[in-house]
Structure 1
Amino acid sequence: MKITFIGGGNMAGAILAGLARQGGHALQVVEPDAAKRDALARDHGVVPLQTPPAFAADEVVVLAVKPQQLKAVCEGIADRLNGALVLSIAAGVRVEALSRWLNGHTRIVRIMPNTPAMVGRGVAGVYAPQELAEADAEAAETVMRAVGEVVRLADETGIDDITAVSGSGPAYVFYFIEAMMAGAVKQGFDADTARALVLATFDGAVELARQSPLDVATLRQNVTSKGGTTERAIARFDAEGVKAAIVAGMDDCRARSIELGQLLSQD
């Protein structure tokens, strides 16, 4: 595929790196910052462009700018698309708004990636309207598989749902890691040892959950001996409402995603 990214920020750079490793693509990036353009060209072999070119119907255009910049970008490329497939990784902005800003262009797919894409371990939700050809949805999935796993979403509201889970999810994990590291330091470990212990614990627990035929609740129970040390910690978590707070926070995240989508999709 010939794929042009509009915007060369961190997420665009991560996906471009993955596509370069995947191979078989002609990659371009439109980025006004000369230093970013040069770095992407040097690191990933992409063709650097200062302004958007004219596209062809068999090309893919990835909108990888901040949501607040998206309207101006769309209006700037609307008359250059010539039927190209447009993928948007910008949070919030709905397909209807993108189509409106692109002068009625309807060949649009929305994607919600997450930051572990930067190390090739991302999860992306892909929403393709039903009227699009299956090949367009598959093209979007091919792009995102370059940096991790892909989940096809049946409805556009699924973008808000997956934002609350995997889109914002890395921050929840980092939050818990921060807390465990603080706890380890309180127990007397130095910061470097605390970090190593906690990250290794997360790595091991996730891999065990991945490989085990048991569900995660059973795995947790297997560590939680009656009257033991782990039971005491879990009892405190339950008393403090940790699990309920996480679920409620995810609900709040989804609600904010909906609010931002409505706000950002306005004229």
Structure 2
Amino acid sequence: MNILLIGCGKMGGAMLRQWAKDDSNQFTVADPVKPDLPAGVRHVSKATSLSEAEFDVILIAIKPQMIADVLPDYSFALKPDGCFVSIAAGCSVDSIRKIVGDRAIVRVMPNMAAMVGLGVSGLYANDACTEQQKTDVTAWIDQTGTCVPVDSEDRIDRLTAVSGSGPGYVFEMLRSYVAAAMDLGFDEKTARALVFDTITGTVETARQSDETLEDLRKSVTSKNGTTQAGLEQLMRDGQLHSLLHDTVNAAYTRAVELK
């Protein structure tokens, strides 16, 4: 596919670096200032450098408030059977349709882990998209980690609250966990290694196991042992469950408000 990225900020650039590993697609980046691009990626600073109906996909990777001003300048470059793909947070398919008309539009909600090829991205395609377009874009997004197709934009908003915003929650939990380890006398480097590797190993154990998460937790919790003592604090009065429930619901509410 011949693909145009409008904008190449942190998220767009991270995804591009994963896609550029596959030389079956050709990429052009439109950005007023040339960013640091992978080898073989073309750069243009303005729409007049492009040809009409040149691209199979136009990826919208600019801030939502810029779309209404910028996208009209580039929409001519999409082939008649092409597809618009947006990774702009909080920008609905309908808001893009109002700019480009009744075209195939896909909304993607990635997360930061796309930078290392372990991202989770929700994908919603409007009715104008063909099954082949959905398949192609899904496979393309899969190159940045895991793509989760959903059947409504509300599901994208819900996914945003869990995985889109999730790295922020996890970073804060990591920060507190590392600080707790340092309070026990470990230097920061050692504390980070203890916490990061414990979490990585635990997640992989859960991923490979057929047991429920509750059963796995019980399997490492000896009666009157250290894990039980820690869990009694962590789970006291259901505070952890309530905190995480309130966290994702606050993010979902904000996602709906931003549309």
Q: Distance in 2 between matches of 1:21 and 1:137?
A: 21
Report the 3-state secondary structure (helix = DSSP H, G, I; strand = E; otherwise coil) of the residue aligned with 2:147.
strand
Asked if 1:7 is matched to 2:7, the reply is: yes
Q: Distance in 1 between matches of 2:213 and 2:86?
A: 34
Report the 3-state secondary structure (helix = DSSP H, G, I; strand = E; otherwise coil) of the residue aligned with 2:241.
helix
- TM-score under structure 2 length normalisation: 0.93
Task: Give the conservation status (yes or no) of the 8 Å contact 1:57–1:85.
Answer: no
Task: Give the conservation status (yes or no) of the 8 Å contact 2:107–2:124.
Answer: yes
Q: Distance in 2 between matches of 1:111 and 1:207?
A: 26
Task: Give the conservation status (yes or no) of the 8 Å contact 2:53–2:76.
Answer: no
- How large is the RMSD of aligned CA atoms in angstroms? 1.5
Mapping 1:173-252, distance limit 5 Å: 173-239=170-236, 241-252=239-250
Q: Name which of 133, 137, 140 aligns with 1:140.
A: 137
Structure 1 segments of 4+ aligned residues over 4 angstroms from their partners = none
User: Which residues of structure 1 form unaligned runs of 5+?
Assistant: 262-267
Asked if 1:254 is matched to 2:252, the reply is: yes
- TM-score under structure 1 length normalisation: 0.91
Task: Give the conservation status (yes or no) of the 8 Å contact 1:237–1:243.
Answer: no
Q: Distance in 2 between matches of 1:247 and 1:55?
A: 48
Q: By how many angstroms is 1:57 displaced?
A: 7.2
Report the 3-state secondary structure (helix = DSSP H, G, I; strand = E; otherwise coil) of the residue aligned with 1:44.
coil
Mapping 1:1-267, distance limit 5 Å: 1-34=1-34, 36=35, 39-40=36-37, 43-52=38-47, 53-56=50-53, 59-83=56-80, 84-102=82-100, 104-239=101-236, 241-261=239-259
Q: Distance in 2 between matches of 1:58 and 1:46?
A: 14
Highest RCO, 1 vs 2 (Cα 8 Å, sep ≥ 6): 1
Q: Distance in 2 between matches of 1:132 and 1:59?
A: 13
Seq. identity, %:
36
Letter of the aligned partner of 2:17 in structure 1? A
Q: Distance in 2 between matches of 1:54 and 1:76?
A: 12
User: Which residues of structure 2 form unaligned runs of 5+?
Assistant: none
Letter of the aligned partner of 2:223 in structure 1? K
Q: By how many angstroms is 1:82 displaced?
A: 4.5
Report the 3-state secondary structure (helix = DSSP H, G, I; strand = E; otherwise coil) of the residue aligned with 1:227.
coil
Task: Give the conservation status (yes or no) of the 8 Å contact 1:17–1:44.
Answer: no
Letter of the aligned partner of 1:46 in structure 2? V
Cα shift readout 1:98-121 (whole Å, capped 9, x = no counterpart):
01022x142111000011000000
Report the 3-state secondary structure (helix = DSSP H, G, I; strand = E; otherwise coil) of the residue aligned with 1:21.
coil
